[in-house]
Amino acid sequence: MSESNKSGSISKDKLIADMKQIVADAEALLQATTDQASEKIADLRTRLQTNLKAAPSRLAEFAVTDVDKTRQDLRDALQKTSDAAQHAAEAAAETAQKAEESVKKAVESSKEATRHAAEAARDAAQKAVAATREAADKALDAMQNWMR
């Protein structure tokens, strides 16, 4: 969990705890002012009681909404991770295919170069044989002429 998520979670947890404490304090205030009879206090007590009755459900709704949002954020993050992994796998497969094609081309190129080198060596060997035969023929002619 990232640092901002941790602090966000801590802040939300603290907010919920603070709200529960406010509710508890307001209920204690209502209990402490039960014997107060002024109209302003009576109106305030009525509003406070109404708000206190709604507070737990609002806190629960906030917590559920927060959990739902967190779940959705996790789903989104997992989907993005899955998408990134899929793209990486596709890129790796494409790279492997290109590498295989390059190797095949290199092998073909090497075969072609080897064939050309073999042809050149054969030609050179044939020329050397012909030159040797010619030199041998000339030497033979020279020896025959010398012996006559």
Each residue's pLDDT, cut to its tens digit, for the chain (148 residues) gives 455 455 556 677 777 787 888 888 787 877 777 777 677 777 777 887 887 777 777 777 777 777 788 788 888 888 888 888 888 888 888 888 888 899 999 888 888 888 888 888 888 888 888 888 888 888 888 888 887 6
pLDDT score for 8: 56
Kindly state the tokens that stand for 17. 């705890």
Question: Which residues are CB-neighbours of 56 under 8 A, at least 6 positions away?
Answer: 23
DSSP class per residue in 45-99 = HHHHHHHHHHHHHHHHHHHHHHHHHHHHHHHHHHHHHHHHHHHHHHHHHHHHHHH
What is the model's pTM?
A: 0.43
